[in-house]
Chain A
Amino acid sequence: MAVAEKSAAAASAHKDEGAAEAAPVERRPTVIADDLHIVYRVNGGGRGRGSATAALSRILRRKAPAGMREVHAVKGVSFTAYRGEAIGLIGSNGSGKSTLLRAIAGLLPAERGRVYTDGQPSLLGVNAALMNDLTGERNVILGGLAMGMSRAQILERYQDIVDFSGINDKGDFISLPMRTYSSGMAARLRFSIAAAKDHDVLMIDEALATGDKKFQRRSEARIRELRQEAGTVFLVSHNNKSIRDTCDRVLWLESGELRMDGPTEEVMKAYEEFTRK
């Protein structure tokens, strides 16, 4: 272990204890983005799924010199994140925050540039793996497996997940198909499954804490727990308060470019100035 970087520890410590505990003697980088560019390629129009009208309209549309459109979502972002940091990502809608998260997680291929990571960063979220036609019970198992948990781990945490979601508070709903759930119940179950796994580098996209007040409090507490276990946390949010509460460093993205990178208060002030215009 090398010399202690007091300033680094201090920077992460002034917000909350969790980060302070994790702040190491040496500043170990966990995520390095090096001139990262992400480009989406979009086929004009929606994707027909075999229905006759969709197929026909595709053929008709093909006559026009249509084709691929490119959306340059992230333009040359570079930063280094260190162990123990909680980093907020802010910016207006469509500024590339979620795209950047996905690129860090290695889920979206980079057009140019690179992201280096320590371990496997993971997005908190499991929605895409769940199936509405299956029972809540089977979805817990499927979701857990999709996140890379072993069968044994899932069985061990199964009861916790169900209890945390509160799905069974009003009767045995976990054995009903998920399509029968109210949207709040489904969101609670999804969060509970997603939050059951520990992560090295954890990335949280906004609006995760859904459901009623009681569940919101419970899920915020769970996010704090996850943060303490994780090495580095990224949080995307439009809620300035939750950024101030949880982050000690903020990256401000605007139309795909990194506009500012610094301590929370400094960046938030500039950002609030900007949004007031």
Chain B
Amino acid sequence: MSDTTHGGAIATSEPPRSPDDGLSPAELAAKYGLTVSGARPSLTEYVRQLWARRHFILAFSRAKLHAQYSQAKLGQVWQVLTPLLNAAVYYFIFGLLLGGRGGMENDEYIPFLVTGVFVFTFTQTSVMSGVRSISGNLGLVRALHFPRASLPVSFSLQQLQQLLFSMIVLVVILVGLGHYPGPLWLLVVPALLLQFLFNTGLAMIMARLGSKTPDLAQLMPFVLRTWMYASGVMFPLAYMLEKANAPGWLAGVLEANPAAVYMELMRYALIDGPHHQSLDGYVWLLAAGWALVIGIGGFVYFWKAEERYGRG
């Protein structure tokens, strides 16, 4: 039987003698237990589906990471070389030319700078790839079924793996400048986990915004650069703010911003120098708070539009 109602050209395929004849499509669907295609699953069901796709998420992130440099002659060496060159450029500009180091000696400033650059880059690239994670993969979204959050999560995971490569460079620099591994280094693990959670949440927020407004990919670099300078990646925030006679509340806001918080944790854990001797307890609270609020909030925000991501 056919439910079409368009003009007289419609032919019915079989004689309509079924007990289901009088039913509306919705009633028919209900009778046979059919579900709405492409409907958004409940939040718990969504988490379950996402967990079921964990192998895909991991494989996809590793594939992306690998594909990045696969055409280069040096190949995967660039995974380490890129962050190293990045750090060298920033050292040249901020360490030698501009001198915003706030009284730190080279053996303290270089790790300070490199840690800052790597930690901030981790968040920065997660945000950028998050913006494009849906709008740049519409082909995938329109061809296959999977919880769409797999994409931003996968891209954040790719950035985490990229950061682990950068950490190799960082460890070499640290040891080379006389900062030897100690028990404090273990704090890197929770710090990175919290930052990863925060980044993933932020990437999911950006993914939803970017799927509606692809222009964000053009705008975000400027926002991110402002964020970078406002977080004290290349100079100690407190020192610069003092120099600029900034009001106290501004210093408070900037120091509580997540990028500054995660950098401070990492620097405290890794660097052994006169400027990195103590850490206020509230920094851990802030780090955990940002991770939970943005991580969970971003996930829920992304899930709310799950059924709409295929639309261009």
Q: Is the CB of B53 within 8 A of A148?
A: yes
Q: Is the CB of A263 within 8 A of B11?
A: yes
- What is the size, in residues, of chain B's interface with A at 8 Å between Cβ atoms? 63
Asked if B139 is an interface residue, CB under 8 A from chain A, the answer is yes
Among A29-87, those with CB < 8 Å from B are 29-34, 40-43, 47-50, 55, 58, 76-80
Q: Which residue of A lies closest to B58 (CB)?
A: A145
Q: Is the CB of A262 within 8 A of B15?
A: no
Asked if A102 is an interface residue, CB under 8 A from chain B, the answer is yes
CB pairs A–B below 8 angstroms (23 shown)? A7-B14, A31-B37, A32-B28, A33-B25, A43-B312, A49-B136, A50-B221, A80-B25, A106-B307, A109-B307, A114-B37, A117-B36, A123-B143, A126-B144, A127-B139, A129-B140, A133-B66, A134-B66, A134-B67, A138-B63, A146-B140, A148-B53, A257-B6
Residues of B near any A CB (own CB < 8 A): 1-7, 9-15, 17-20, 24-26, 28-29, 32-39, 53, 55-56, 59-60, 63-64, 66-67, 70-71, 135-137, 139-146, 214-215, 217-218, 221, 307-308, 310-312
Whole-angstrom CA separation of A122 from B66 in the bound complex: 29
Majority-rule SS of B interface residues: loop
Given A11-B13, A29-B29, A146-B144 contact (CB < 8 Å): yes
Q: Is the CB of A134 within 8 A of B63?
A: yes
Q: Is the CB of B218 within 8 A of A106?
A: no
Interface size class of A (residues with CB under 8 A): 35 or more
Q: Is the CB of B146 within 8 A of A2?
A: no
Determine which of A28, A49, A177, A266 lies in contact with B217 in the assembled complex, contact meaning CB atoms within 8 Å.
Answer: A49
| Residues in chain A near residue B308, CB distance under 8 A | 109
Determine which of A33, A41, A142, A270 lies in contact with B59 in the assembled complex, contact meaning CB atoms within 8 Å.
Answer: A142
Whole-angstrom CA separation of A77 from B67 in the bound complex: 42
Asked if A174 is an interface residue, CB under 8 A from chain B, the answer is no
Q: Is the CB of B4 within 8 A of A261?
A: yes
Q: Is the CB of A107 within 8 A of B67?
A: no
| Residues in chain B near residue A104, CB distance under 8 A | 37
Among A83-126, those with CB < 8 Å from B are 102-110, 114-118, 120-123, 125-126
| Residues in chain A near residue B67, CB distance under 8 A | 131-134
| Residues in chain A near residue B56, CB distance under 8 A | 142, 145-146, 148
Asked if A21 is an interface residue, CB under 8 A from chain B, the answer is no
Given A109-B310, A138-B63, A249-B13 contact (CB < 8 Å): yes
CB distance from B72 to the nearest CB of A (A): 11
| Residues in chain B near residue A132, CB distance under 8 A | 67
| Residues in chain A near residue B2, CB distance under 8 A | 79-80, 261-262
Q: Is the CB of A262 within 8 A of B310?
A: no
| Residues in chain B near residue A55, CB distance under 8 A | 218
